[in-house]
Chains A and B, each alone.
Chain A
Amino acid sequence: SQELEQSPQSLIVQEGKNLTINCTSSKTLYGLYWYKQKYGEGLIFLMMLQKGGEEKSHEKITAKLDEKKQQSSLHITASQPSHAGIYLCGARINYGQNFVFGPGTRLSVLP
C-alpha cells in the first residue's frame, strides 16, 4: 500500500476555476514537498513545508501542512492551462528515512 495517498486521482476543471489536491499520510511527515511533472519530463519543485500549520504560496498556488503534520493540501486559484500536469507530493515519513512519493494527481485544465 502507498505510504502517501493523494486525492483526487485525476481532476478536470474549466479554466479560471479553483481546485484543491490533498496528500495524506498515516504517519508523521518530516518535510512535505510538492512537485509538478509534465508528460515526458522530470519533476519540477514547487514548494516545501516543514512545520505543522505552515502555509506557503507561489503565484497562484498555495500549500498547507496541517497541525498534526499528517496531511497537506495544494490549492490553485483561477486555474490556467499552464497548470495542467501531474502533481506529486513527497515526504520523509519517519525521521531520517528516505523519500517516498504519492501516486500523483493528474490535472487537466480546459480552455
Chain B
Amino acid sequence: EAGVAQSPRYKIIEKRQSVAFWCNPISGHATLYWYQQILGQGPKLLIQFQNNGVVDDSQLPKDRFSAERLKGVDSTLKIQPAKLEDSAVYLCASSVLRDRGSYNEQFFGPGTRLTVL
C-alpha cells in the first residue's frame, strides 16, 4: 500500500513570496490533515478535511494560508505572502473516516521543509 505522498520535499523562498505544497493521501482515506511543525516543537494542526469539506481550520492563519481539497483526494496548502516565521516542516496526514470520539490512526507523509529567507 502506497503511503502519503508530499511534494516538494524542500522549498526555499524569500519573504513575501508565495508557495504551494501538495499532498496525496492514502487511497480510500477520507480524512486529511495539514500540520505545521516548527523546529523543536510538536506538529500543530492547521486544517482538517473530511472528504472535500473543512472540519477544523481554527488554527489556520487565514490572512495568508489557504488550503483546498477539491475532489476529496489530493490537497494543496498555499502561503501567500510568506513570512520568516512560516519556516517549518509542513506535514500531511490521512486517516480513514473519523467519527467524533473515535481513534483512527493517522498516517503521515515525509513533510515539506520550508525555509523563508
Interface residues of A (CB under 8 A from B): 2, 4, 30-31, 33, 35, 40-45, 48, 50, 88, 90, 92, 95-96, 98-104
Contact = CB atoms under 8 A, between A and B. Distances in A.
Interface string B12-55: 00000000000000000000010000001111110010000001
Given A48-B103, A95-B101, A88 B42 contact: yes
Q: Which 8 A/B pairs are nearest by Cβ-Cβ distance?
A: A101-B42, A42-B108, A31-B103, A96-B100, A43-B108, A42-B110, A103-B42, A101-B43
A95 B100 CA distance: 8
Interface in B55-105: 55-56, 91, 93, 100-101, 103, 105
B43 A98 contact: no
Contacts, number: 60
B113 interface: yes
Interface of B: 4, 33, 40-45, 48, 55-56, 91, 93, 100-101, 103, 105-111, 113
Contact of B45 (A2, A42, A43, A98): A98
A42 B109 contact: yes
29 contacts: A2-B42, A33-B106, A40-B110, A40-B111, A42-B91, A42-B93, A42-B108, A42-B110, A42-B111, A43-B43, A43-B93, A43-B108, A44-B108, A45-B105, A45-B106, A48-B105, A88-B42, A88-B43, A92-B103, A96-B101, A98-B45, A98-B48, A98-B55, A101-B43, A101-B44, A103-B42, A104-B40, A104-B41, A104-B42
